[in-house]
């Protein structure tokens, strides 16, 4: 077991002079062990305050600080899962500024006039103004061809696709892909989500165990778990077909088949529980040649059956 000896947290404390201000100041909270017991101090510049939490006479002989990451809960700083998507989104924003600036220049040509004398004044332009120019004067519009606009737009689309591929959410694209390729892509994305959820659950469980230990309780009796479910309601048609054929043959239950096509997930129970389902369905299944009672006596057609 490895315990933390020192943890320094940088925090922002309110430093407003009145209720309308939002200024803050930086302070540092130090968690450490002193004489085998937890000690918490708050440093505000040169001022030190004792912030050690107390709970009766109970004291901790370790630092109750839990690290939580995306792939593990180690104290080392890991990579941000969506950092690639964030970079692509930032580049997309930068390219969009150039793109709309180019569109502005393309859609708003600049008029020009040459050959005016010092006494001529053409200060008003626009669709509602008419120019009266001397015979030797010339006029026209300066327009850019916009050759690079399409390249900028294509790069924006490339950055958008990169952001979508890097995202943790499954987003349909216009590209054609097989069912296996799509399933593999979903598994990769679900794996990253799975690791994030499981690491968070482990961190929460560790914090709960710390609280139980502080209260002089048995930490082993307190657990926290999360059931990660990321699949959609879509199901594999081949597996559904096999479950249906297996239900007809008595290898699995019709209830299992129905739960799969309704949720897209196989039921989570043991094999012996599945056998009980199959046995129950077989016992409740009508015998061969069985016909529902219709309230008519078969021996005397048209005569109501007796209650005997």
- pLDDT tens digit string along 31-62? 998 888 889 999 998 889 999 887 767 778 88
Question: For residue 229, which phi and psi values (nearest 5 degrees)?
Answer: -130, 115
Q: Cα–Cα distance between 298 and 105 in angstroms, integer?
A: 92
Q: Cα–Cα distance between 252 and 177 in angstroms, integer?
A: 32
CB 41 within 8 A of CB 29: yes
* Domain stops at, among 142, 166, 190: 166
Residue 134: inside a domain, yes or no? yes
3-state secondary structure of 37: strand
Q: Cα–Cα distance between 230 and 235 in angstroms, integer?
A: 13
Residue 290: inside a domain, yes or no? no
* Domain stops at, among 150, 166, 182: 166
* Domain stops at, among 136, 166, 196: 166
The structural domain count of the chain equals 2
Residue 189: inside a domain, yes or no? no
What average pLDDT does this structure show over 92-102?
Answer: 89
Residue 172: inside a domain, yes or no? no
Residue 200: inside a domain, yes or no? no
- At 189, the pLDDT band (50, 70, 90 cuts) reads low
Q: pTM here?
A: 0.51
Which of residues 208 and 153 earns the better pLDDT score? Answer: 208
Average pLDDT, the chain: 80
Structural domain range at position 161:
83-166
The pLDDT assigned to 58 comes to 75
Residue 109: inside a domain, yes or no? yes
Residue 52: inside a domain, yes or no? no
Residue 100: inside a domain, yes or no? yes
Strands 24-34 and 110-114: unpaired
Quickly tell me which residue has 């901790």 as its tokens.
60
Beta bridge partners of 8: 30
């Amino acid at each position: 077991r490895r315990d933390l000896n020192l943890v320094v947290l940088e925090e922002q404390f309110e430093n407003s002079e009145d209720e309308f201000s939002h200024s803050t100041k930086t302070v540092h909270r130090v968690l450490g062990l002193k004489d085998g017991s937890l000690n918490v101090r708050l440093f505000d510049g040169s001022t030190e305050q004792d912030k050690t939490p107390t709970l009766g006479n109970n004291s901790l002989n370790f630092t109750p600080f839990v690290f939580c990451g995306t792939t593990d809960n180690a104290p080392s700083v890991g990579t941000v899962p969506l950092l690639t998507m964030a970079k692509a989104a930032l580049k997309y924003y930068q390219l969009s500024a150039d793109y709309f600036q180019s569109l502005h220049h393309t859609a708003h040509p600049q008029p020009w006039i040459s050959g005016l004398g010092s006494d001529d004044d053409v200060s008003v332009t626009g669709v509602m103004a008419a120019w009266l120019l001397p015979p030797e004067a010339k006029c026209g519009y300066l327009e850019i061809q916009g050759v690079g606009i399409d390249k900028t737009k294509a790069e924006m689309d490339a950055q958008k696709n990169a952001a979508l591929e890097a995202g943790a959410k499954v987003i349909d694209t216009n590209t054609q892909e097989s069912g296996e390729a799509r399933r593999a892509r979903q598994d990769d994305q679900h794996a990253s989500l799975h690791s994030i959820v499981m690491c968070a659950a482990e961190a929460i469980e560790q914090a709960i165990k710390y609280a139980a230990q502080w209260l002089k309780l048995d930490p082993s009796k307190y657990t926290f778990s999360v059931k990660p479910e990321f699949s959609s309601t879509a199901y594999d048609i081949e597996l559904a077909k096999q479950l249906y054929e297996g239900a007809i043959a008595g290898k699995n239950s019709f209830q299992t088949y129905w739960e799969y096509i309704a949720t897209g997930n196989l039921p989570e129970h043991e094999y012996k529980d599945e056998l009980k389902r199959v046995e129950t369905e077989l016992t409740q299944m009508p015998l061969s040649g069985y016909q529902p009672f219709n309230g008519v006596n078969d021996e005397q057609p048209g005569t109501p059956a007796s209650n005997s």
